[in-house]
Amino acid sequence: MNIWDVVIIGGGPIGIACGLEAQKKGLSYVILEKGPIVNSLYNYPDKMQFFSSSERLEIDDIPFISTEAKPKRDEALEYYRRIVTSNKLHINLFEEVINIQKEQNVFTISSNKTTYNATQIVIATGFYDIPNLLQVPGEGLKKVTHYYKNPHYYSGQKVAVIGASNSSVDAALECWRKGAEVTLIIRGTEIGPRVKYWVRPDIINRIEEGSISVHYNTTVKEITPNTIVIENTDGATVLQNDFVIALTGYRPNFKFLEMAGIELSQDEKKLPKYNPNTMETNVSGLYLAGVICGGMETHKWFIENSRIHAIQIMSSILQNK
């Protein structure tokens, strides 16, 4: 039976960083990614620009050269892909982990393709897979999406964008500029405070001039094939509508973590239990890396402040080997 030193679940930037560090330390490893390389980044909007500068997105001190200080999605895809290929990382793509079991000191990792055995596991799966649902009638209609890619699709259509974050604001502005009639629906009192500083004045100006409609302190009550019903302190309003882009955030796969035996806090934050010095969880030999460490607080961990996890984890694994 072949037993790996470490199986890394998730082939995003931090999973790749863990693979690089394992390779440098002489550990046998494999990265399992359920989609393409950096699957989450691939599913970002086509023209998305990062809030962070390129050097803050670098891993393993490998230079990230971009045409602007803050790189765009396609540049990031190229950067991380080249790291994988040029370093000949052991990564198996389009392979989803289904189950994790531990017997004595060996983990059995079952995927949709095969089974692996390892003495250590790193979970670096991010949080972009499971949308926070509106939980309203009509949310399952084909016209509703929780992901946004390209504005061309919505040209000439009545589009409701739900949310006040960077993704919502970008979608609203891009769709409006491609000829959509855009309505922003925001649960709070204003555009989100963490919206990119160079974008915030743009959306505020478009709202003030009436180019983009906005409803603050408003929730969605129902979605029908031709309308969306919203509600605030003035009561319910029915808007004519062709498409709904509900960008209400995402959450880690907590069921997957619990299946692996990781303890979560009992409050709404659902923080996983781990040692911040080694990143090892309450399950001996099972580590967490990246944004998944923050539970529902998905704004706490980014590439730039979780790159160090790879070094912490592989150092701990080497000491325990």
Provide φ and ψ at 237, rounded to 5°. Answer: -135, 135
**Domain 133-246 belongs in CATH node 3.50.50.60:** yes
Can you name the CATH fold of 3-130+250-320? Answer: FAD/NAD(P)-binding domain (3.50.50)
For residues 55 and 64, the answer to whether their CB atoms sit within 8 Å is yes
The reported pTM is 0.90
Q: What's the mean pLDDT when you consider all of the chain?
A: 94
Question: Across residues 299-320, what is the average pLDDT?
Answer: 91
Name the one residue in this structure whose structure tokens are 């790189």. 71
- E-strand stretches of 259-319: 286-288
Q: Above pLDDT 90, what percent of the chain?
A: 84
pLDDT in the model for residue 298: 81
Q: Does 287 have pLDDT greater than 90?
A: yes
Backbone phi and psi for residue 33, each to the nearest 5 degrees, phi listed first: -125, 130
Contacts of 250 by beta carbon, 8 Å cutoff, 6+ apart: 127, 128, 129, 130, 131, 132, 146, 298
Helices 13-24, 73-86: crossing angle, 10 deg rounding: 20
Provide CATH 3.50.50.60 ranges for the chain.
3-130+250-320, 133-246
pLDDT of residue 1: 66
* DSSP type of residue 276: T
Maximum CA pair distance of the chain? Answer: 67
Residue 227 CB burial class (10 angstroms; 0-12, 13-18, ≥19): middle
Query: Using one digit for the tens of pLDDT, what is the confidence trace for 121-176?
Result: 999 998 888 899 999 999 999 999 999 999 999 999 999 999 998 999 999 999 99
What is the CA angle 303-197-185, rounded to 5? 95
